[in-house]
Amino acid sequence: MPFSSPTPSISSAGVKSILSALQQMGIDIQAVLNDVNLSTLNLDDSDLRISCTHAFEIYNAGQNYWRRENFGLQHGLLYQPFMLGIVGHLLTTANTGLDALQSFIRYQTAFGEGLRLDISGHVDPTDSQPAIAARLWIHPTMKDKVNSSIVDSYFVALMNCVHLLTGRNNQLTQVKLRRPQPDSSEEYERVFDCPILFSQPEDKLILSSKQLEEPLLSANPELHLLLSQKSQSILSSIKSEQDLPNRVRHEIERCIDGSKIDLDRIAQGLRVNSRTLQRRLKEKGQQFQQILDEVRREFATTQLKNGSISIDEQAYLLGFSEPSVYRKSFKRWTGKTPTEFRKSLNSDKKHPNNQ
Protein backbone atom coordinates (compact mmCIF):
# COMPACT_ATOMS: atom_id res chain seq x y z
CA MET A 1 0.00 0.00 0.00
CA PRO A 2 1.48 3.36 -0.93
CA PHE A 3 2.05 5.92 1.83
CA SER A 4 1.62 9.56 0.89
CA SER A 5 4.00 10.97 3.52
CA PRO A 6 7.75 10.26 3.76
CA THR A 7 7.62 11.26 7.43
CA PRO A 8 4.52 9.67 9.03
CA SER A 9 2.82 11.52 11.87
CA ILE A 10 0.08 10.79 14.38
CA SER A 11 -2.64 13.04 15.76
CA SER A 12 -2.93 14.21 19.35
CA ALA A 13 -5.95 11.87 19.62
CA GLY A 14 -3.69 9.00 18.57
CA VAL A 15 -1.13 9.80 21.24
CA LYS A 16 -3.86 10.25 23.87
CA SER A 17 -5.34 6.85 22.98
CA ILE A 18 -1.99 5.16 23.60
CA LEU A 19 -1.60 6.95 26.93
CA SER A 20 -5.20 6.35 28.00
CA ALA A 21 -4.83 2.60 27.55
CA LEU A 22 -1.50 2.65 29.42
CA GLN A 23 -3.11 4.53 32.28
CA GLN A 24 -5.93 1.99 32.50
CA MET A 25 -3.24 -0.68 32.77
CA GLY A 26 -1.95 1.05 35.91
CA ILE A 27 1.11 2.59 34.22
CA ASP A 28 2.28 6.07 35.22
CA ILE A 29 1.92 7.97 31.94
CA GLN A 30 3.78 11.02 33.25
CA ALA A 31 6.78 8.79 33.93
CA VAL A 32 6.45 7.41 30.39
CA LEU A 33 6.42 10.90 28.87
CA ASN A 34 9.40 11.90 30.99
CA ASP A 35 11.29 8.81 29.83
CA VAL A 36 10.95 9.84 26.17
CA ASN A 37 11.40 13.59 26.79
CA LEU A 38 7.88 14.42 25.63
CA SER A 39 6.41 15.67 28.91
CA THR A 40 5.75 19.12 27.41
CA LEU A 41 3.36 17.84 24.73
CA ASN A 42 0.10 19.79 24.63
CA LEU A 43 -2.26 16.95 23.83
CA ASP A 44 -5.28 19.24 24.18
CA ASP A 45 -4.22 20.89 20.93
CA SER A 46 -6.43 19.11 18.39
CA ASP A 47 -4.16 20.31 15.56
CA LEU A 48 -1.07 18.74 17.11
CA ARG A 49 0.62 15.99 15.15
CA ILE A 50 3.92 14.41 16.15
CA SER A 51 6.24 11.96 14.49
CA CYS A 52 5.12 8.33 14.63
CA THR A 53 8.63 7.59 15.88
CA HIS A 54 7.79 9.46 19.08
CA ALA A 55 4.47 7.62 19.39
CA PHE A 56 6.20 4.25 19.19
CA GLU A 57 8.74 5.45 21.77
CA ILE A 58 5.84 6.23 24.11
CA TYR A 59 4.34 2.79 23.50
CA ASN A 60 7.64 0.98 24.09
CA ALA A 61 8.37 3.03 27.21
CA GLY A 62 4.97 1.99 28.57
CA GLN A 63 5.75 -1.63 27.80
CA ASN A 64 8.89 -1.37 29.94
CA TYR A 65 6.68 -0.73 32.98
CA TRP A 66 4.48 -3.80 32.29
CA ARG A 67 5.53 -6.73 34.44
CA ARG A 68 3.26 -9.35 32.93
CA GLU A 69 2.82 -11.12 29.59
CA ASN A 70 0.81 -10.21 26.50
CA PHE A 71 1.26 -6.46 26.78
CA GLY A 72 -0.04 -5.80 23.25
CA LEU A 73 -3.21 -7.82 23.70
CA GLN A 74 -4.09 -6.14 27.00
CA HIS A 75 -3.32 -2.67 25.64
CA GLY A 76 -5.55 -3.19 22.59
CA LEU A 77 -8.48 -4.45 24.67
CA LEU A 78 -8.75 -1.07 26.38
CA TYR A 79 -9.49 0.86 23.19
CA GLN A 80 -12.94 2.26 22.50
CA PRO A 81 -14.12 4.11 19.37
CA PHE A 82 -14.25 7.55 21.02
CA MET A 83 -10.52 7.25 21.78
CA LEU A 84 -9.81 7.51 18.05
CA GLY A 85 -10.76 11.18 17.87
CA ILE A 86 -12.97 12.35 15.03
CA VAL A 87 -12.34 9.08 13.16
CA GLY A 88 -13.80 7.17 16.10
CA HIS A 89 -16.90 9.34 16.22
CA LEU A 90 -17.24 8.83 12.47
CA LEU A 91 -17.27 5.05 12.96
CA THR A 92 -20.05 5.17 15.55
CA THR A 93 -22.39 6.93 13.11
CA ALA A 94 -21.88 4.48 10.20
CA ASN A 95 -24.77 2.30 9.01
CA THR A 96 -23.09 -1.09 9.44
CA GLY A 97 -19.90 -2.61 10.76
CA LEU A 98 -18.63 -2.83 7.20
CA ASP A 99 -19.40 0.85 6.60
CA ALA A 100 -17.53 1.68 9.80
CA LEU A 101 -14.52 -0.36 8.70
CA GLN A 102 -14.53 1.26 5.26
CA SER A 103 -14.76 4.71 6.85
CA PHE A 104 -11.74 3.87 8.98
CA ILE A 105 -9.82 2.79 5.88
CA ARG A 106 -10.76 6.00 4.08
CA TYR A 107 -9.83 8.40 6.87
CA GLN A 108 -7.28 6.50 8.95
CA THR A 109 -4.54 8.97 7.99
CA ALA A 110 -6.38 11.61 10.04
CA PHE A 111 -5.69 9.42 13.09
CA GLY A 112 -2.16 8.27 12.26
CA GLU A 113 0.10 7.32 9.34
CA GLY A 114 2.62 4.83 10.71
CA LEU A 115 0.31 1.81 10.34
CA ARG A 116 -2.35 1.45 7.66
CA LEU A 117 -5.07 -1.05 6.94
CA ASP A 118 -6.65 -2.02 3.65
CA ILE A 119 -9.43 -4.47 2.93
CA SER A 120 -10.29 -6.73 0.04
CA GLY A 121 -12.55 -9.64 -0.79
CA HIS A 122 -11.32 -12.96 0.51
CA VAL A 123 -12.16 -16.21 -1.20
CA ASP A 124 -11.52 -19.52 0.51
CA PRO A 125 -12.86 -22.57 -1.38
CA THR A 126 -13.12 -24.46 1.93
CA ASP A 127 -15.29 -21.75 3.53
CA SER A 128 -18.92 -21.36 2.49
CA GLN A 129 -19.21 -17.94 4.17
CA PRO A 130 -18.03 -14.80 2.29
CA ALA A 131 -15.25 -12.99 4.10
CA ILE A 132 -13.17 -9.82 4.01
CA ALA A 133 -9.41 -9.71 4.43
CA ALA A 134 -7.95 -6.74 6.33
CA ARG A 135 -4.20 -6.46 5.82
CA LEU A 136 -1.85 -4.36 7.91
CA TRP A 137 0.84 -2.25 6.19
CA ILE A 138 3.75 -0.66 8.01
CA HIS A 139 5.30 2.59 6.78
CA PRO A 140 8.79 1.86 5.35
CA THR A 141 10.47 4.22 7.84
CA MET A 142 8.74 2.47 10.74
CA LYS A 143 9.56 -1.18 9.95
CA ASP A 144 12.45 -1.35 12.41
CA LYS A 145 10.38 0.35 15.11
CA VAL A 146 7.15 -1.67 14.95
CA ASN A 147 7.37 -4.81 17.08
CA SER A 148 4.90 -7.67 17.40
CA SER A 149 3.26 -6.12 20.48
CA ILE A 150 2.32 -3.00 18.52
CA VAL A 151 0.72 -5.17 15.83
CA ASP A 152 -1.16 -7.09 18.54
CA SER A 153 -2.44 -3.81 20.01
CA TYR A 154 -3.52 -2.49 16.64
CA PHE A 155 -5.49 -5.60 15.66
CA VAL A 156 -7.09 -6.08 19.07
CA ALA A 157 -8.03 -2.39 19.33
CA LEU A 158 -9.66 -2.55 15.91
CA MET A 159 -11.63 -5.66 16.75
CA ASN A 160 -12.63 -4.34 20.16
CA CYS A 161 -14.02 -1.20 18.53
CA VAL A 162 -15.95 -3.28 15.99
CA HIS A 163 -17.30 -5.44 18.82
CA LEU A 164 -18.46 -2.39 20.79
CA LEU A 165 -20.11 -0.87 17.73
CA THR A 166 -21.95 -4.00 16.60
CA GLY A 167 -22.57 -5.69 19.92
CA ARG A 168 -21.19 -8.89 18.39
CA ASN A 169 -17.88 -10.58 19.09
CA ASN A 170 -17.82 -13.17 16.29
CA GLN A 171 -16.81 -11.09 13.28
CA LEU A 172 -13.38 -12.73 13.04
CA THR A 173 -12.96 -16.07 11.32
CA GLN A 174 -9.15 -16.17 11.33
CA VAL A 175 -6.08 -14.13 12.32
CA LYS A 176 -2.70 -14.37 10.56
CA LEU A 177 0.38 -12.95 12.25
CA ARG A 178 4.00 -12.60 11.14
CA ARG A 179 5.28 -13.11 14.66
CA PRO A 180 6.50 -16.56 15.73
CA GLN A 181 4.13 -18.54 17.89
CA PRO A 182 4.66 -17.68 21.57
CA ASP A 183 5.25 -20.33 24.21
CA SER A 184 1.57 -20.07 25.10
CA SER A 185 -1.01 -18.93 22.56
CA GLU A 186 -4.05 -19.48 24.76
CA GLU A 187 -4.46 -15.76 25.46
CA TYR A 188 -4.43 -15.01 21.72
CA GLU A 189 -7.18 -17.56 21.14
CA ARG A 190 -9.22 -16.15 24.01
CA VAL A 191 -8.90 -12.52 22.90
CA PHE A 192 -9.46 -13.06 19.17
CA ASP A 193 -11.90 -15.95 19.69
CA CYS A 194 -10.92 -17.62 16.39
CA PRO A 195 -8.09 -19.72 14.92
CA ILE A 196 -4.67 -18.01 15.02
CA LEU A 197 -1.91 -18.72 12.48
CA PHE A 198 1.62 -17.60 13.40
CA SER A 199 4.79 -17.14 11.30
CA GLN A 200 2.71 -16.00 8.33
CA PRO A 201 4.00 -13.89 5.41
CA GLU A 202 1.79 -10.95 6.43
CA ASP A 203 -0.36 -9.63 9.25
CA LYS A 204 -4.00 -10.06 8.30
CA LEU A 205 -7.49 -10.37 9.78
CA ILE A 206 -10.20 -12.43 8.07
CA LEU A 207 -13.66 -11.11 8.92
CA SER A 208 -17.13 -12.43 8.28
CA SER A 209 -18.92 -10.32 5.66
CA LYS A 210 -22.31 -11.43 6.97
CA GLN A 211 -21.61 -10.28 10.52
CA LEU A 212 -20.21 -6.94 9.38
CA GLU A 213 -23.35 -6.21 7.37
CA GLU A 214 -25.47 -6.06 10.52
CA PRO A 215 -26.77 -2.49 11.17
CA LEU A 216 -25.27 -0.40 13.99
CA LEU A 217 -27.61 0.82 16.71
CA SER A 218 -25.77 4.17 16.76
CA ALA A 219 -26.13 4.79 13.00
CA ASN A 220 -26.73 8.45 12.15
CA PRO A 221 -26.50 9.21 8.39
CA GLU A 222 -26.73 13.01 8.76
CA LEU A 223 -24.03 13.22 11.42
CA HIS A 224 -21.93 10.66 9.54
CA LEU A 225 -21.94 12.95 6.50
CA LEU A 226 -20.85 15.96 8.56
CA LEU A 227 -18.07 13.98 10.24
CA SER A 228 -16.94 12.65 6.86
CA GLN A 229 -16.63 16.21 5.57
CA LYS A 230 -14.65 17.22 8.65
CA SER A 231 -12.38 14.18 8.28
CA GLN A 232 -11.78 15.03 4.63
CA SER A 233 -10.82 18.55 5.68
CA ILE A 234 -8.27 17.10 8.10
CA LEU A 235 -6.80 14.93 5.33
CA SER A 236 -6.46 18.01 3.10
CA SER A 237 -4.73 19.84 5.95
CA ILE A 238 -2.31 16.95 6.45
CA LYS A 239 -1.47 16.93 2.75
CA SER A 240 -0.78 20.65 2.94
CA GLU A 241 1.34 20.09 6.04
CA GLN A 242 3.41 17.46 4.24
CA ASP A 243 4.32 20.14 1.70
CA LEU A 244 5.19 22.63 4.47
CA PRO A 245 8.85 23.26 3.46
CA ASN A 246 7.74 24.21 -0.07
CA ARG A 247 5.01 26.47 1.33
CA VAL A 248 7.62 28.20 3.49
CA ARG A 249 9.90 28.53 0.49
CA HIS A 250 7.18 30.11 -1.66
CA GLU A 251 6.22 32.52 1.14
CA ILE A 252 9.84 33.64 1.49
CA GLU A 253 10.02 34.24 -2.27
CA ARG A 254 6.86 36.32 -2.03
CA CYS A 255 8.42 38.40 0.74
CA ILE A 256 11.52 39.45 -1.21
CA ASP A 257 10.54 43.12 -1.29
CA GLY A 258 13.11 45.01 0.77
CA SER A 259 11.50 44.37 4.15
CA LYS A 260 12.94 42.17 6.88
CA ILE A 261 12.41 38.44 6.31
CA ASP A 262 12.25 36.40 9.48
CA LEU A 263 10.38 33.52 11.08
CA ASP A 264 7.64 35.72 12.53
CA ARG A 265 6.84 37.33 9.18
CA ILE A 266 6.70 34.03 7.30
CA ALA A 267 4.61 32.39 10.03
CA GLN A 268 2.16 35.28 9.89
CA GLY A 269 1.91 34.89 6.11
CA LEU A 270 1.15 31.20 6.52
CA ARG A 271 -1.35 31.96 9.32
CA VAL A 272 0.44 29.85 11.89
CA ASN A 273 2.18 30.53 15.19
CA SER A 274 5.94 31.01 14.73
CA ARG A 275 6.81 28.44 17.41
CA THR A 276 4.45 25.95 15.80
CA LEU A 277 6.02 26.56 12.39
CA GLN A 278 9.50 26.04 13.81
CA ARG A 279 8.44 22.82 15.53
CA ARG A 280 6.72 21.41 12.45
CA LEU A 281 9.74 22.13 10.28
CA LYS A 282 11.98 20.46 12.87
CA GLU A 283 9.78 17.36 12.78
CA LYS A 284 10.49 17.19 9.05
CA GLY A 285 14.23 17.49 9.63
CA GLN A 286 14.43 21.09 8.38
CA GLN A 287 15.12 24.50 9.86
CA PHE A 288 13.69 27.86 8.88
CA GLN A 289 17.11 29.51 8.57
CA GLN A 290 18.26 26.74 6.23
CA ILE A 291 15.30 27.31 3.89
CA LEU A 292 15.75 31.09 4.07
CA ASP A 293 19.43 30.78 3.13
CA GLU A 294 18.58 28.50 0.20
CA VAL A 295 16.00 30.91 -1.21
CA ARG A 296 18.29 33.92 -0.73
CA ARG A 297 21.21 32.10 -2.37
CA GLU A 298 19.11 31.07 -5.37
CA PHE A 299 17.77 34.61 -5.78
CA ALA A 300 21.22 36.19 -5.41
CA THR A 301 23.03 33.89 -7.84
CA THR A 302 20.26 34.27 -10.42
CA GLN A 303 20.46 38.06 -10.22
CA LEU A 304 24.25 38.00 -10.52
CA LYS A 305 23.98 35.81 -13.61
CA ASN A 306 21.39 38.10 -15.14
CA GLY A 307 23.25 41.25 -14.14
CA SER A 308 19.94 43.09 -13.79
CA ILE A 309 20.44 44.74 -10.37
CA SER A 310 23.43 45.81 -8.31
CA ILE A 311 24.84 43.94 -5.35
CA ASP A 312 23.61 46.62 -2.93
CA GLU A 313 20.11 46.37 -4.44
CA GLN A 314 20.19 42.61 -3.93
CA ALA A 315 21.08 43.11 -0.26
CA TYR A 316 18.15 45.51 0.12
CA LEU A 317 15.60 43.25 -1.58
CA LEU A 318 16.68 40.22 0.44
CA GLY A 319 16.06 42.10 3.68
CA PHE A 320 19.65 42.42 4.92
CA SER A 321 20.33 45.28 7.32
CA GLU A 322 23.64 46.17 5.62
CA PRO A 323 25.28 45.25 2.27
CA SER A 324 28.31 44.05 4.25
CA VAL A 325 26.15 41.49 6.07
CA TYR A 326 24.82 40.28 2.73
CA ARG A 327 28.37 39.93 1.34
CA LYS A 328 29.44 37.82 4.31
CA SER A 329 26.35 35.63 3.97
CA PHE A 330 26.88 35.16 0.25
CA LYS A 331 30.46 34.01 0.86
CA ARG A 332 29.20 31.55 3.45
CA TRP A 333 26.70 30.16 0.90
CA THR A 334 29.04 29.90 -2.10
CA GLY A 335 32.63 30.28 -0.89
CA LYS A 336 32.95 33.53 -2.88
CA THR A 337 31.92 37.14 -2.41
CA PRO A 338 29.25 38.47 -4.82
CA THR A 339 31.95 40.35 -6.74
CA GLU A 340 34.15 37.25 -7.03
CA PHE A 341 31.15 35.19 -8.12
CA ARG A 342 30.25 37.71 -10.84
CA LYS A 343 33.87 37.80 -12.08
CA SER A 344 33.94 34.01 -12.28
CA LEU A 345 30.80 34.12 -14.43
CA ASN A 346 32.41 36.65 -16.79
CA SER A 347 35.54 34.51 -16.96
CA ASP A 348 33.53 31.47 -17.91
CA LYS A 349 31.84 33.42 -20.71
CA LYS A 350 35.22 34.52 -22.10
CA HIS A 351 36.74 31.05 -21.83
CA PRO A 352 33.91 28.54 -22.41
CA ASN A 353 36.38 25.69 -23.04
CA ASN A 354 37.53 25.95 -19.42
CA GLN A 355 34.16 24.77 -18.15
Q: Of 202, 235, 268, which closes a domain?
A: 235
In the chain, the number of structural domains is: 2
Same domain, 142 and 171: yes
Domain around 52? 9-235
Total residues belonging to the chain: 355
Same domain, 213 and 269: no
Same domain, 30 and 144: yes
**pLDDT tens digit sequence for 120-164:** 875 555 556 778 899 999 999 888 889 999 999 999 999 999 888
**pLDDT tens digit sequence for 223-272:** 999 999 999 888 887 776 667 888 888 889 888 988 899 999 999 888 78
Q: Of 180, 207, 235, which closes a domain?
A: 235
Domain annotation covers residue 112: yes
Domain annotation covers residue 270: yes
Confirm if 327 and 311 have CB atoms less than 8 A apart: yes
Domain annotation covers residue 2: no
Same domain, 43 and 190: yes
Q: What is the pLDDT of residue 337?
A: 92
Distance separating alpha carbons of residues 156 and 182, to the nearest angstrom: 17
Which residue ranges of the chain lie beneath pLDDT 50? Answer: 1, 354-355
Q: What is the pLDDT of residue 350?
A: 57
Q: What is the pLDDT of residue 126?
A: 55
Q: What is the pLDDT of residue 303?
A: 87
Phi and psi, residue 11, nearest 5° = -75, 165
DSSP-based three-state secondary structure for 242:
helix
Q: Of 175, 205, 235, which closes a domain?
A: 235
Same domain, 83 and 129: yes
The DSSP result for 61-104, as a single string, is: HHHHT--SS-HHHHHHHT--GGGGTHHHHHHHTSSBHHHHHHHH
Same domain, 84 and 36: yes
Partners of residue 208 on adjacent β-strands: 131
Same domain, 217 and 286: no
